[in-house]
Structure 1
Amino acid sequence: MALIATTPEPPYYAVIFTSVRTGIEDGYDDMAERMVELAMQQPGFLGVESARNEVGVTVSYWSDLASIKAWKAHAEHKEAQRLGHQQWYQHFKTRIAKVERDYGI
């Protein structure tokens, strides 16, 4: 997986998940890896980028809002959300944005 996602011509959508972790590590890395693997199999998934320091930021890219809604409701993803709420995250915020323009080198 590339460090910077290759996305199609806009428009498309970005789900920006920003988080502050607790000190609990139990199962986190395995679940995070599984969620990326599973997201990549979902209709409408375009790519993902992630970085962690004091604050973690994961941006996933999707073709449409219906695909994002389906991913949020996926059974395995819902279990990851539950565990995140209970043990892995002190704080988190999810933002959904429409990408209307992108550029880079």
Structure 2
Amino acid sequence: MGIFTNTYDLPYYAVIFASERTEGEKGYGIMAAKMVELASKQKGFLGVESARDTQLGITISYWKTLDDITAWKENAVHQIAQERGKKEWYSRFGLRVCKVERDYFFEV
């Protein structure tokens, strides 16, 4: 697998999380790695892609169903990370849930 996650049976869902960080690490990197590891063990998880520069971070997680996304949102450990994010790590963030009906990947 390269930079992009694999493509999956259509349709599937993408959760797009965009964020601006506060100053300082405050355990963010460790928790982010834990969340990817935990999410990867959840029912319906397909993959994740993430990028961050000095101002903006975007993480896209892919799921089989909306129910799988809801279960992940309600995961107790994930809820702890969400609360820490609101209090310590993010100055702004937004979340979008999208249904993927087509996808295309090309190599040149």
Question: Does the alignment reach a TM-score above 0.5?
Answer: yes
Deviation per residue, 1:66-104 (Å, 9 max, x gap): 000000000110000000000100000000000000011
RMSD between aligned residues: 1.0
Could you give the per-residue CA deviations for residues 22-46 of structure 1, whole angstroms, max 9, x where no partner exists?
A: 0031110000000000000000000
Give me the whole-angstrom Cα distance separating, in 2, the residues matched to 1:7 and 1:59: 13
TM-score by length of 2: 0.94
Is 1:72 equivalent to 2:59 in the alignment? Answer: no
Identity of aligned residues (%): 54
Report if the CA contact (8 A) 1:5-1:47 is conserved.
yes
In 1: Cα distance, 2:3 partner to 2:22 partner: 25
Q: Structure 2 CA distance, aligned partners of 1:92 and 1:10?
A: 28
Would you say the 8 A contact 2:7–2:103 is kept in 1? no
User: Runs in 1 of length 4+ with deviation above 2 angstroms?
Assistant: none
Structure 1 runs not aligned, ≥5 long: none
| Structure 2: 5+ residue stretches without partners | none
